Amino acid sequence: MAQALTASTLRLDHEGLPAVDGLTFATTGQHVLLLGAPRVVFAAAAGLEAPARGTMCVQGVAPRLAVRAGLAASAFLDPPLPPRWTPRLLATWSARLVGHGRSVARELAVDALRRLELTHLADTRIQHLPTAAKRASVLSAAIATGAMTLLVEWSSTGVADPQARALARVFAKAMADRHSVVFTGRISLDSPLALAADETLIVDGSSVLAQDTPAEVAARTQSHWLSVAGQVDKFVESVRAAGGRADLGHGTARTQRVRVDLGPLAIGDLFRIAAESNAVVIELRSICTMFA
């Protein structure tokens, strides 16, 4: 099977302005966590946003083609749902709309509802379901398409922790025989989704800051990314001369992203080096903080 999701020098615009410019990555795992990416990246992966430049592929083809060919399906966070529909009807029509016949669609819907442990709520109107069950219904509708790769917009906001963890556990189990790319801002390292994931990518704007297993990324307490203004090149050279590692990322007209591995340095040393280099650290964030 081709790589679940790839991007090459990708530029995506939002409201006429570049939201991402030059983003490049390739997933390698079966279950991937993609942390911190702008929402427009998920929309592009789902086939709803066309790149202004560069390419994005799902299973080796353009996202819209992947959806049309039944290779991939997407689950958006809290989309509008017909209030009088039921999870069974939603899953069945999701399968029908990608081209499955009536009887096959019914079978796919039954299987998807079983995977998401929604069988007992299958004929309850969506308007009467709690938030966690509504989100499970959206996931089951994506699974009912039969696609082997699911792109999922995930958040625990609005759901109590026990229900959020239960939904994560059920979804991780449901995807055991398929591929998934879960887009989220932050996630607990002990979340069932993190435990099931075999790869994590941390994206900041147009740069990939880390790509490894969740545990390996979370352990990088000495890895940080900074927004630096002023003499950025001189700052990077000085960090390297002091024993740290510094790599330039993408930037704007005013600031540049810099990835720093501290090595023998302390956080305070970065601000001292910046002052000595005629540079200013605008923002500093630790990579491991993407895990709650």
Identify the pLDDT of residue 225: 87
Over its C-alpha atoms, the chain yields an Rg (Å, rounded) of 21
Identify the pLDDT of residue 1: 62
Helices (H) and strands (E) in the chain, counts: 10, 13
Output the average pLDDT for the chain: 94
H-state helical runs in the chain: 39-45, 63-68, 87-97, 102-115, 131-143, 161-174, 192-196, 214-218, 232-241, 267-276
Say what the pTM is.
Answer: 0.87
For the stretch 21-47, pLDDT in tens is 999 999 999 999 999 999 999 999 999
How large a percentage of the chain has pLDDT more than 90?
82
Q: CB–CB of 34/181 below 8 Å?
A: yes
- Residue 219's pLDDT band, with cuts at 50, 70 and 90, is confident
Q: Where are the domains positioned within the chain?
A: 5-217, 222-290
SS3 131: helix
Class of domain 5-217: alpha beta
- Residue 211's pLDDT band, with cuts at 50, 70 and 90, is very high
- Residue 292's pLDDT band, with cuts at 50, 70 and 90, is low
CATH number of 222-290: 3.30.70.1340
Q: Which residue has the higher pLDDT, 252 or 185?
A: 185
- Residue 288's pLDDT band, with cuts at 50, 70 and 90, is confident
